[in-house]
């Protein structure tokens, strides 16, 4: 049975172009679409996912599992996975699952039976649970590493260390870090990175938390932050930092400069308008889908733990 690869080769186009010509012809030049359709007709190619799936023993469906849809961090990841899945002529289903209870694990098991592979974003599930569910189908983890499981991680830990170093260069001697959820793998990496950076620069780092990565959680930290002797606060998540900054502003204690304030006002770093990590969520999602596609095709390939560099965006003024 001819494949999309065969059609693309016969038409003289890439696989992704052939896929778009067959599934979304409005995105491809008319002449190219006609060339792809002609090749498909001559080869007897049937662009039917179910038929192809039966022939290959696959469903032609992959799943992306996220803990919530309320966190804007996951939106570009979903978009990146979706774009890459379309290029691979795969159907994507997005499921919300926190993987923090037996009920959620059973829901996950039902999903896993219906798909060819899984991309899992599980910042708070235990290592044991995530390892268990990752063994059900070819799996790629996003923003988390576990032995024996392929992963794609944004190296935010290095970016946080760079950010803290910049704050030290600005003259800050004491930094307060608002930590993320207690089970967060990324938060553990960030805490270690900023702690080591603080030691290298000879400044004091205090850590409070854990906190959920939400605006409400950030606002609730006001009294704790005011009782600290820090001159700047570095937050685990953007929403957490914004919630704190607005509370500081309401209390008349917010500083809009990244330099120490002589009147005891506090700056908040890691949010828009301040030095912050710049994660390319779309690329993170695309790379995870690329890895999963390769793993589904060859489940016996070596496990790869890939880290994507993350720059720090410094305000220009």
pLDDT in tens, 46-97: 665 544 554 455 668 999 999 988 888 899 999 999 999 998 888 999 999 9
- If asked whether residues 94 and 144 sit together in one domain, one would say yes
Q: What is the pLDDT of residue 264?
A: 87
Flag whether 317 is in a domain.
Answer: no
- 172-191 mean pLDDT: 93
Q: Is the predicted pLDDT of residue 234 greater than 50, yes or no? A: yes
- If asked whether residues 96 and 238 sit together in one domain, one would say no
> Can you give the CATH number for the domain in which 227 is found?
3.40.50.2300
Q: What is the pLDDT of residue 57?
A: 53
pLDDT (tens digit, 9 = 90+) per residue, 283-301? 999 999 999 999 998 888 8
Q: What is the pLDDT of residue 55?
A: 47
Q: What is the pLDDT of residue 54?
A: 44
Flag whether 207 is in a domain.
Answer: yes
- If asked whether residues 140 and 196 sit together in one domain, one would say no
Q: What is the pLDDT of residue 88?
A: 86
- If asked whether residues 222 and 189 sit together in one domain, one would say yes
Ordered DSSP codes for the chain: ---HHHHHHHHTS-HHHHHHHHH-GGGS-HHHHHHHHHHHHHHT----HHHHHHHHT--SEEEEEES-SS-TTHHHHHHHHHHHHHHTT-EEEEEE----SHHHHHHHHHHHTT-SEEEE--SSS-HHHHHHHHTSS-EEEES--BTTBEEEEE-HHHHHHHHHHHHHHTT-SEEEEE---TT-HHHHHHHHHHHHHHHHHT-EEEEE----SSHHHHHTTHHHHHHS--SEEEESSHHHHHHHHHHHHHTT-B--SSSPPTT--BEEESSTTS-EE---HHHHHHHHHHHHHHHHH-TTSPP-EEEE---EE----
pLDDT band at 242 (very low <50, low <70, confident <90, very high): very high
Q: What is the pLDDT of residue 157?
A: 95
Domain that holds residue 287: 57-153+280-312
> Can you give the CATH number for the domain in which 33 is found?
1.10.260
Q: What is the pLDDT of residue 150?
A: 95
- If asked whether residues 32 and 137 sit together in one domain, one would say no
- If asked whether residues 269 and 286 sit together in one domain, one would say no
- If asked whether residues 228 and 302 sit together in one domain, one would say no
- 10-27 mean pLDDT: 84
């Amino acid at each position: 049975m001819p494949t999309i690869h065969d059609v693309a080769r016969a038409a003289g186009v890439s696989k992704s172009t052939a896929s778009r010509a067959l599934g979304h012809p409005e995105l491809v030049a008319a002449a190219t679409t006609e060339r792809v359709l002609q090749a498909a007709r001559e080869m007897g190619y049937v662009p039917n996912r179910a038929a192809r799936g039966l022939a290959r023993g696959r469903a032609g469906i992959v799943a992306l599992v996220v803990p919530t849809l309320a966190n804007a961090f996951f939106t570009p990841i979903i978009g990146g996975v979706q774009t890459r899945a379309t290029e691979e002529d795969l159907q994507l289903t997005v499921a919300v699952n926190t993987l923090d209870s037996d009920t959620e694990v059973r829901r996950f098991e039902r999903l896993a039976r219906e798909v060819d592979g899984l991309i899992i974003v599980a910042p708070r599930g235990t290592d044991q649970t995530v390892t268990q569910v990752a063994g059900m189908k070819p799996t790629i983890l996003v923003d988390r590493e576990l032995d024996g499981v392929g992963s794609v991680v944004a190296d935010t830990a290095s970016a946080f260390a760079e950010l803290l170093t910049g704050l030290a260069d600005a003259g800050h001697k004491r930094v307060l870090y608002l930590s993320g959820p207690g089970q967060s793998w990324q938060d553990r990496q960030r805490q270690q990175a900023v702690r080591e950076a603080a030691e290298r620069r000879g400044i004091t780092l205090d850590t409070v938390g854990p906190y959920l990565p939400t605006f409400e959680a950030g606002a609730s930290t006001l009294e704790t932050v005011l009782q600290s002797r820090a001159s700047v606060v570095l937050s685990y998540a953007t929403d957490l930092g914004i919630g704190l900054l607005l509370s500081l502003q309401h209390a008349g204690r917010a500083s809009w400069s990244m330099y120490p304030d002589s009147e005891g006002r506090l700056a908040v770093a890691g949010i828009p308008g301040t030095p912050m990590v710049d994660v390319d969520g779309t690329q993170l999602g695309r790379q995870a889908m690329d890895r999963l596609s390769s793993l589904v095709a060859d489940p016996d390939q070596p496990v790869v733990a890939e880290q994507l560099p993350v720059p720090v965006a410094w305000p220009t003024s």
